[in-house]
Amino acid sequence: MHFSEKNKDSTRLMWLTTYVLVSVNYATILYSLISRRSRDCELERIGEVITQVWLGILKKQRVYCQHMDRYFGYLFYAKFATVFYLCISNWIHAVIMAMEYKWWILPGLLFYMNALNLIITTTFGYYLALWHIARAFYFVNNELTDLSQRTGVNKPTSKDVEHLRHLRALHAVLTRTSLRINQVYSFQMLASRFDYVVTSIINTYLGLLFTFSFDTPAYLIAFGLSIHVARTLDFYLLDLMCDLVLQYQQWPRHELTECRWFRELNDFVIYASSSKINLWVCGLFQANQKLWFKMMCSITAYSIVLMQFHIY
């Protein structure tokens, strides 16, 4: 009797966690759809600003740093690969579930999985905007380094002074755009992070359960693990990009102290020292790699708690 009641409680916990998972998914999808119109309108304006910034940079016709350009390229392709794999794996997941149960549920499963892909692609838009801004910030820092080398001995020309004013204006535009993008995506990222944490906790619990308590095929376990790793990498790259934006926006400018000091340079140093920003998520926490590690700790801890409920 004791064992049958225990099995009933375990089954009840499995169904409860599944309902919680689906409910959180639907709530996040619903918010993403409701807020999409206003978010896209703001992104259109922000996109115009970013386009103007990069057109101004390309007019310089300078290869500012091929090494860093490759680095940003790797980050872009890594993020694109994780997003692409997650979208494809959701469709494969729908087909596998239809094969295990009944084929007539496949259209409903594909609809649900496509809705989940909306959450993934929405965060990719946020990442892509920050990616462009981080590259532009790096261009500004590299131009400042070149300027300090040119004016290290020689007196700055009127062209150098005008270029410094342009860099200051560009830096200010990028800073305001970073804050605006973060404000536009603030609630969306809070919802997406909550969805990711809840999904990871429950999927970790269910993954351990199906691995050790049921006769689950090895390919299904490997497939589920690959999805979990890809989703984890996806959010790590997002928090890494937030860190890069802050790093390049607050880049230490020690080389400026080695060049000739003039009024415009003094104004830029004062401006740069007073314009440091942080990317907050709804004012609750800062988006950076520390947040990613905290999420990993929370996911591990709550997954263990669920397993304890299941065992005891």
The residue ranges of every structural domain in the chain are 2-63+123-311
Taking Cα atoms as reference points, which of 276, 49, 56 lies closest to residue 166? Answer: 56
CA 260 centroid distance within chain? 40
Q: What is the pTM of this model?
A: 0.85
CA end-to-end span of the chain: 15
Spatial distance between the Cα atoms of 123 and 300, rounded to a whole number of angstroms: 23
Q: Using alpha carbons only, give the angle 203, 119, 128 rounded to the nearest 5 degrees.
A: 120
Cβ atoms of 132 and 178 closer than 8 Å: no
* Tens digit of pLDDT at every position of the chain (312 positions): 444 544 555 677 778 888 888 899 999 999 998 888 888 887 787 777 777 777 666 666 555 555 557 888 899 999 999 999 999 999 998 888 888 777 788 888 888 889 999 999 999 989 998 998 998 888 888 888 877 777 666 677 778 778 888 888 888 888 888 888 888 888 999 999 999 999 999 888 888 888 877 777 888 889 989 999 999 999 999 999 999 998 888 877 666 666 666 677 777 777 877 888 888 877 677 877 888 888 888 888 888 888 777 666
CA 59 centroid distance within chain? 30
Return the DSSP state at 282: T
Contacts of 76 (CB under 8 A, 6+ apart): 128, 131
Cβ atoms of 196 and 165 closer than 8 Å: no
Residue 169 in tokens: 């204006």
